[in-house]
Amino acid sequence: MAADGKPIPSVWAKPRKQREQPALTRERIVAEAVRLLDEEGLDALSMRTLGTRLNAGATSLYRHVASKDELIELVVDEVYGELPVPAADGPGEWRAALARSADELRSMALRHPWVVAVLGQVGLAELGPNVARVSEGLLGVCAAAGFPVHVAEQAMKTVLAYVVGTVTSEAAWLSLVARSGLTEQELVRSLMEGAAGSFEGHQRLEESHTAHRGQDPARVRDENFSFGLQRILDGLEVHLDSLR
């Protein structure tokens, strides 16, 4: 303080103001909900918990998102925004285009493993802008292949059902790996060693066990997914030929 009793005009002498929180918006709520789901899973999601993370009351959130069910629709559409729009340049490109889309959906779902549990809740409805553009692209790929409109939708849903079903099991396995504290390879080795005695008298199981010994489990998962997907596409191709 100066001799005349007045405060010294210095920024360092002034009390620091509390940093203002960014304005609460639906976009910010959805982005934080995705982070919460990725970090803690679906069971941890509540409007109260989300409000705490955003330094806002649940009542404030309800001004932007009407309910938890509405929030689920929004977060699903948000992560669908990570997917490129499927496209096929011509009738001969449809298999490769569907395979790419299936791989991309699988990768997205493994980044956000909670999403497979709520896809049924939103009914795969093409209401959100991102879900709509991906679905439109997939239908376009099936139409370019030569499928009639109603069959194109069935073909798209068959591929999606395969991806969702496979990723549900895969995500559960990777959750087990994370909880074990081991690497995936270490856990597989431990489980296979523990189960070795159970294969006695079961020749085919023992042969399968031996064939997988020492393999990279992540690569095995990729190969298994690709094998099943190609068989789905084989079936769709046979059906397409029958329509011509």
Residue 161 belongs to domain with CATH number: 1.10.357.10
- Report how far residue 160's alpha carbon sits from residue 27's, in angstroms, rounded to the nearest whole number: 27
How many whole angstroms separate alpha carbon 7 and alpha carbon 161?
70
187 belongs to a structural domain: no
Contact between 91 and 146 (Cβ < 8 Å): yes
CB 104 within 8 A of CB 83: yes
Q: Count CB atoms within 10 A of the CB of residue 78.
A: 18
If asked whether residues 29 and 123 sit together in one domain, one would say: no
> Does one domain contain both 147 and 100?
yes
Task: Put residue 181 in one of left, alpha, beta given phi > 0 → left and psi -120 to 50 → alpha.
Answer: left
Nearest to 79 by CA among 115, 45, 44, 104: 115
Torsion of CA 126, 127, 132, 135, to 10 degrees: 0
Let me know: does 81 contact 130? Beta carbons within 8 Å. Answer: yes
- Tell me the per-residue pLDDT of 229-244, one tens digit each, with 9 for 90 and over: 999 999 999 999 999 8
Answer yes or no: is pLDDT of 126 > 70.
no
Instruction: Report yes or no: 120 and 173 within 8 Å, Cβ to Cβ.
Output: no
Based on the domain organization, do 141 and 229 belong to the same domain?
Answer: yes
**pTM assigned to the model:** 0.84
Segments forming the whole domain that contains residue 33? 22-66
Q: How many CA atoms lie within 13 A of 235 on its CB side?
A: 12
Q: What is d(CA 114, CA 121) in angstroms, rounded to the nearest whole number?
A: 12
In a domain, 75, yes or no: no
Give dist(CA 71, CA 62) in Å, integer. 10
Q: What is the pLDDT of residues 65-117, one digit of tens each?
A: 999 989 999 999 999 999 999 988 777 899 999 999 999 999 999 999 999 88
126 and 231 share one domain: yes
User: How large a percentage of the chain has pLDDT more than 90?
Assistant: 66
Q: Are residues 62 and 89 in the same domain?
A: no
